[in-house]
Structure 1
Amino acid sequence: MEPGNKAILEKANAAIINGDHEGFLAFCSDDTEWTFVGDQTLRGKEAVRQYMAIAYAEPPRFIVENLIAEGDFVTALGKISMKDETGELADYAYCDVWRFRDGKMAELRAFVIKAGQTKIAR
């Protein structure tokens, strides 16, 4: 296990909060693959860049409730608020399972559910 995988994810998340997409992408492998379970799969850094330009045009707000590391994996559980497909701010519960390779985020399996009752303080 890379000793700093949790720290790498925390730094990457800080970049997202600050709207720094390229700063976030610096922590990803060139062949990173993101699977949004039940929705879509993004393959490669450029596909993720294009996704972020739309989905994170306005930086999301999120709370990481638990960060669990085991081997090459880090799992983040929490809540996120971002604009939905209609452009309205929506709250979601998420579980992100990251696989690291050589100190980079190489794979994401994201389970994201729109949360009707879960609200994030604004």
Structure 2
Amino acid sequence: MKNREKLMTKINKAFAEGDAEFISNSVTDDIKWVIVGEKTISGKTEFEASLDRMKLGGPLEIIVKNVINEKEKCVVEGIVEMKLEPAKAKKYAFCDIYIFPDEVSNKFRELRTYVSPIRDKLSI
């Protein structure tokens, strides 16, 4: 269980640093990424293309507040700061649900992302 929580920390660090290779090595070939209310990314090729686009305007910082690990699922809650345009950043609250093929695998097969802009100084 602790190993999976460490993996979640490493994956979020990789997202913040634009380490597409680490993230890509952490998914199954049939990965599905559902960004709720926005789009669904299916398959490793499309997933990797999405990761490459993130390098252009990806996260500046990701702060993980909570990791909940239960059997084949991990839930990560936190705050992400994104660069929207030069010299302009915005903070969002996020909740990611990682679904693994089983309780011991270190490669996830589905990621469901919920994102909400933070409009005031309150945070989670």
TM-score relative to the length of structure 2: 0.82
User: In structure 2, the residue corresponding to 1:67 is in which secondary structure?
Assistant: strand
- Point out 4+ residue stretches in structure 1 off by more than 3 angstroms: none
- Distance in 2 (CA, whole Å) between partners of 1:18 and 1:67 is 19
Between the two proteins, the alignment pairs up a number of residues equal to 118
Aligned to 1:14: 13
2:114 is equivalent to residue 115 of structure 1:
no
- Aligned-partner residue type, residue 24 of structure 1: I
Please state which structure has a larger fraction of its residues in helix. 2
Give the counterpart of 1:104 among 93, 102, 107: 107
Return the letter of the residue paired with 2:106: G
Q: What is the CA-CA distance between 1:112 and the residue it aligns to?
A: 0.4
RMSD: 2.2
CA 1:56 to 1:112, structure 2 compared with 1: closer, same or farther past 3 Å? farther
CA distance in 2 between counterparts of 1:40 and 1:59 reads 17
Identity %: 28
TM-score for both structures, normalised by structure 1: 0.83
The residue identity in structure 1 corresponding to 2:35 is F
Give structure 2 stretches of 5+ with no counterpart: none
